[in-house]
Chains A and B, each alone.
Chain A
Amino acid sequence: EAGVAQSPRYKIIEKRQSVAFWCNPISGHATLYWYQQILGQGPKLLIQFQNNGVVDDSQLPKDRFSAERLKGVDSTLKIQPAKLEDSAVYLCASSVGQGIRTEAFFGQGTRLTVV
């Protein structure tokens, strides 16, 4: 079974530039999550989708971050404009559904460096 695919793996941009990350979840997984992992910290949930609807975006800095999952499959996360403190690994995860016994699988992440 193919895992959660993310691209690009690495990205370096200057502050105030824009950047977008892409995630392809495991086939058939209705629930998709974006996490931000700053160096030395645990991942922090940014947004959760159920199919193409947003379930939880309470921790998403909406003034600069946006995410969409238009067809309920792939998802993109955008940052515009980027700040130095956005340097982090952005992890995408997916699960079959929303029940507590459904396991979430994580992708390898996109490492963003803002200079």
Chain B
Amino acid sequence: ELKVEQNPLFLSMQEGKNYTIYCNYSTTSDRLYWYRQDPGKSLESLFVLLSNGAVKQEGRLMASLDTKARLSTLHITAAVHDLSATYFCAVGRDYGGSQGNLIFGKGTKLSVKP
């Protein structure tokens, strides 16, 4: 059974600092996603990673994928308050399946403080 584990589950950061969120998954998959969720809001897609060694960057966030280690990381550079949210990683349940058919991690609640 495919399991997705994120750590840490809670992260309190100071503005300007760097940190990394880790996402491990238990069996092979052909796709991995990172989502952001603000309180009371829906999920916003951040990154789609489809191949080993894939790296994508958007602003202060950078995601990478190591399919051999079954590990993805979300790196935060020089955090700002606007990045405060819950971040989820999600893995495709079946090869070649729909992007929406996913197993999600429990999420990492990020709080960036001045």
Q: Are B45 and A44 in contact (CB under 8 A)?
A: no
Q: Which residues of B contact A95 (CB under 8 A)?
A: 98-100
Indicate whether B48 reaches chain A with its CB closer than 8 angstroms.
yes
- A2 interface residue, CB < 8 Å from B? no
For the complex, is B27 an interface residue (Cβ under 8 Å from A)?
Answer: no
B25 in contact (CB, < 8 A): no
- Pick the contact of A106 from B31, B42, B101 — CB < 8 Å? B42
Bound-state Cα–Cα, A76 to B4, Å: 28
Give the docked Cα–Cα distance between A107 and B42 (Å).
6
Q: Interface residues of A toward B: which range?
A: 20 to 34
Q: A44: which B residues are within 8 A, CB to CB?
A: 104
Bin the interface of chain B by size.
20 to 34
For the residues of B in contact with A, the DSSP-based class is loop
A-B contact pairs, 26 of them (CB 8 A): A31-B98, A33-B98, A33-B100, A33-B101, A41-B106, A42-B104, A43-B102, A43-B104, A48-B100, A48-B101, A55-B98, A56-B101, A91-B42, A93-B100, A99-B98, A100-B50, A100-B99, A101-B99, A102-B98, A103-B45, A103-B48, A104-B98, A105-B45, A106-B42, A107-B42, A109-B42
